[in-house]
Amino acid sequence: MGLEEKLPSGVLLTSVEKAAGWARARSVWPATFGLACCAIELFQTGGPKHDLARFGMERASNTPRQADLMIVAGRLSQKMAPVLRQIYDQMADPKWVISMGVCASSGGMFNNYAIVQGVDHVVPVDIYLPGCPPRPEMLMDSILKLHDKIINMKLGKNRERQIAELEEARLNLRPLHLISPEGPEL
């Protein structure tokens, strides 16, 4: 917004943060990023039965520069990972990520070299949504939880520091090592 950088921290900034958070939470524009079967549930969430328009989110953007929410729906292949990151980098700030389904969150049942074992190795994730696939109601619940996060979000430099810390922590994660009952690592 620009204003937040000029204001001193304190009561006024807290009020500005709350007002900006309220406005942002009600104008989130998702980028379309369906990667696998979870995307079908994502499409369904935008349909008339579930009606994402209630949250001001009916406009799914096909250009990342007009989107601030990435919903990663489905497994992410190693080959697709740089594309996902590029789209995330091109999205407008501030931006958020929902990891939809077990495949996006952890690789799911695809524990192999071709699939990224969690999109948080590539982009900072705000909400992890479990399920295979998650139902549209679950996605809407995660969107409402994201709204709470956005309303209570820091602004300006505080937000940049928050994102940098989250991203560093996620990038430092190591893949799980499976231990066989006999002892040695698989």
- Using the rule CB under 6 A, give the single segment among 2-10, 24-32, 58-66, 95-103 that binds ligand SF4: 95-103
Beta-strand (E) ranges in the chain? 30-31, 69-73, 96-100, 127-129
CB of 71 to ligand SF4, least distance (A): 12
Q: Is 144 in the site for ligand SF4 (CB under 6 A)?
A: no
CA dist 87 and 146 (Å) reads 20
CA dist 103 and 10 (Å) reads 42
Q: Which residues pair with 31 in a beta bridge?
A: 61, 70
CB of 74 to ligand SF4, least distance (A): 4
| Residue from 30, 46, 101, 118 binding ligand SF4 (CB under 6 A) | 101
Q: Is 133 in the site for ligand SF4 (CB under 6 A)?
A: yes
Length of the chain: 186
Site string for ligand SF4, 8-37 (x = CB under 6 A): ----------------------------xx
* Of 76 and 91, CB closest to ligand SF4: 76
Q: Is 103 in the site for ligand SF4 (CB under 6 A)?
A: yes
Q: Give rounded-to-5 percent helix, strand, coil for the chain.
A: 45, 10, 45
Here the tokens at position 114 are 């071709």
Q: Is 108 in the site for ligand SF4 (CB under 6 A)?
A: yes
CA dist 101 and 78 (Å) reads 17
Q: Is 156 in the site for ligand SF4 (CB under 6 A)?
A: no
